[in-house]
Amino acid sequence: MAHAVFLILSRILAVLVVAFALAHPAAAQTLDTAALAKGFASRSFDDVEKAVTQLAASGSPRAEPILRALNDRLLVIAADGALLIDKAGAYENAFTGEAVTPTAKPTPIRVNNKIRTTLAAAMGALTLMSPDRQKRLEAAEAVFKSRDASARPLLDKAIAAETDARVKARLIEARAAGVLLDQTATEAERVEAVATIRARGDQDAKGLLSSLPAEVPPAVKAAADRAITAIEAELALWNVAQNGYYGLSLGSVLLLAAIGLAITFGVMGIINMAHGEMVMIGAYVTFVVQETIRTSFPGLFDYSLLIALPLAFLVAAIVGMAIERSVIRFLYGRPLETLLATWGISLILQQAVRTLFGPTNREVGAPSFMSGAFDLGGLVITYNRLWIIVFTLVVFFALLMLLRFTALGLQMRAVTQNRRMAAAMGIRTNRIDMLTFGLGSGIAGLAGVALSQIDNVSPNLGQGYIIDSFMVVVFGGVGNLWGTLVGAFTIGIANKFLEPYAGAVLGKILLLVFIILFIQKRPRGLFALKGRAVEA
C-alpha cells in the first residue's frame, strides 16, 4: 500500500518535472506531455495504447522518435517517472531530446501485440510527414496497402504539405483507398476514388478494386469492374513491354558474348572453344582491378569498370594471340582439330584460374551508377542491365567501324576473302591472323567486364556462354556481324517470351530444338554468305 502511494507520488512529481522541462520548446507546447508520460508509464496496456494514439495525432516532431523507440523497446521510464529514450546506454529525455543521466536503471515500457499494431499504423501515418522523400514514399505505399480510412485527416494534411509530385500522387491514391472502403463516404466520392485508383493502374490497384466488400453501392462496384478490365489490359501491355526489355537485356548479353566469336569463328573460321575462357579472363581482370582499387585507391571505386575495360581487352587479347601463335596457326584448315585443341586450352585456362584464384565465386562490386533501378511507366529498368545494353551496342558498332574504316579492318577483310591474293598484295597474312584472333579474344575480355556485373565470377563462367554463343553465331549466319546482332536479339527475346509459358529450362530447350531445326532448313544461318566463300 505504501509502495503504491509512493509510486503515485513519484509520478506526480515526474509530471511536474516534465512540465517544467517542456516550458520552452515550441513544438512541445501543444503536447500534454504530463498526461502522455503518465499514459506510457501506466501498467494498463489500454492506457499505453491511448497514449500512442494521442501522441500520433498530435503531429509533434517528437512523436516519431518516441514511437520508434517504443517499437524497438528503447522507451524507458526513469525511477523519477520521466520518459526517456535509451540510446545505446546513454539516455535522453523523450520530449526534449536533452541528455539525462538517470540515477537508477530505468525500466522499459512493455508492449503487447495490440499496441504493436496501433504503433505500426501510427508510425506509417507519421512518416508521411518525414523530411526524407524516400520515407514519405514508403509511408504512402504502406497506408495505401493498409487501406486505413482513419488516416485520412493526416493524409489530407500531408497532401496539402507535399511538394514532390510523385509522393503527392501516391498520397492521393492512399487517400482514395481509404475513401473507397469508407462506408460513410458518399457514392460520388467513392466513384471518384475508383477513378484515382484506376489511374494508378498496377497490380496493387487491381487487387484493391477486386477485393471490394459486399456493402459497396452498385454504381461503385460497376465503376470498379470497368476499372479492373482497363487495368488488366494495361498490365498485359506493360507485361509484354517488360518481357521485351528482359529479352533485349538477355539478347545484349548473348551478343556481347558472341561478338568475339563472330570474329574468330565467323571471320576466321576457327572453332574457338576457349572463347568462354576469354570472357572469364576479362571478368577476373575486373576482379583484380577492383581489389587493387579497394585496397589502394578506394576513391576510384566508381571508375573501376572503366579502368578494367582496356586492361581486360589487353590481357584477353594477349592470351588470345599467344594461343593463336602457339597452337592454332598449325591447325588452319583443320577446323575439327582446332576445336579439340582449343577445348584443351579452355580446360587448362580454367584450371589455371582455379589454381590462382580458388574455385569459389569472386565478388565483383557494382559502381554506384550501375546499381539501382528506375520505373518507366509500368517497367522496372535496372541500371546494370541498361548499361550492358548500351555497352554492347557501343562495342558492336565500334567493331563494325573498325572493320569498315581502318587499315586493319580492310586487311582483315582482304585476308578472309582471298588469302593468297591478299598475300600477293603485300599483306602479312600471318600477322593479320594473329591480330584478328587477338581482336576477337579482346572483345571477349570486354564482355567479361560487363558480365562480371550480372554473373558469378568463377572459373566456370565461360562454360555457361560457349554453347549459347555458338548458337547465336550459327543462327545469325557465319561471317556476318549483322546476323550475329539479329541472332542474339531474336534468341534473347524469344527466350524471354517463351519463359512465362514453358518455364525457364523448358523454354531454353525449346529454343535449342528450334535452332537445331532451323539449321537444318538454312544450314548457313539467317544471313548466309553467298558465293565461293561458302564452300571454303
Partner 1 sequence: MLTAKLLADRRGLIFLAILAAAAILVPALNLLTPEGSALHVPTYAMSLMGKYLTYAILALALDLVWGYCGILSLGHGAFFALGGYAMGMYLMRQIGPRGVYGNPVLPDFMVFLNWKELPWYWYGFDWFPFAALMVVAVPGLIAFIFGWFAFRSRVTGVYLSIITQALTYALLLAFFRNDMGFGGNNGLTDFKDILGFNIQSDATRAGLFALTALTLAAAYLIARSVVMSKAGKVLLAVRDAESRVRFLGYRADNYKLFVFTLSAMMAGIAGALYVPQIGIINPSEFAPGNSIEVVIWTAVGGRGTLVGPAIGAILVNFAKTTFTTGALAPYWLFALGGLFVLVTLFLPKGIVGTASDYLARRRAAGAKPEPVAAPTPDPAE
Query: Distance between CA 461 and CA 283 in Å, rounded?
Result: 9
Tell me how many residues contact partner 1 (CB under 8 A): 43
Least Å distance, CB 531 to partner 1, is 17
Contact pick of 301, 508, 528, 533 for partner 1 (by CB under 8 A): 508
- Could you tell me the strand order of the sheet in which 107-108 lies? 99-100, 90-93, 83-87, 75-77, 107-108
Residues 462-491 close enough to bind partner 1 by CB under 8 A: 463, 467, 470-471, 474
Assess 117 for contact with partner 1 (CB under 8 A). no
86 vs 337, beta carbon nearer partner 1? 337
Assess 519 for contact with partner 1 (CB under 8 A). yes
Least Å distance, CB 436 to partner 1, is 18
Contact pick of 3, 24, 420, 521 for partner 1 (by CB under 8 A): 521
Q: Which residue has the cell 498485359?
A: 236
Query: Distance between CA 141 and CA 152 in Å, rounded?
Result: 14
Least Å distance, CB 447 to partner 1, is 20
The residues facing 86 across adjacent strands are 91
228 vs 341, beta carbon nearer partner 1? 341
Query: Distance between CA 490 and CA 492 in Å, rounded?
Result: 5
CB count within 10 Å of CB 302 equals 13
Least Å distance, CB 466 to partner 1, is 8
Segments in 181-217 forming alpha helices (H): 187-200, 203-210
CB count within 10 Å of CB 355 equals 10
Buried b (16+ CB within 10 A) or exposed e, 7-34: eeeebeebbebbeebbeebeebeebebb
Q: Binding mask 399-438 vs partner 1 (x if CB under 8 A, - otherwise)?
A: ----------------------------------------
Buried b (16+ CB within 10 A) or exposed e, 72-102: eebbbbbebbbbbbbeeeebbbbbbeeebee
CB count within 10 Å of CB 444 equals 37
Helix (H) or strand (E) holding 90: strand 90-93
Least Å distance, CB 347 to partner 1, is 3
217 vs 523, beta carbon nearer partner 1? 523
Q: Binding mask 315-354 vs partner 1 (x if CB under 8 A, - otherwise)?
A: ------------x--xx-xxxxxxxxx-xxxxxx-xxx-x
Q: Which stretch binds partner 1 (CB under 8 A): 172-180, 279-287, 288-296, 505-513?
A: 505-513
Q: Which residues bind partner 1 (CB under 8 A)?
A: 271, 273, 327, 330-331, 333-341, 343-348, 350-352, 354-355, 463, 467, 470-471, 474, 505-506, 508-509, 512-513, 515-517, 519-521, 523
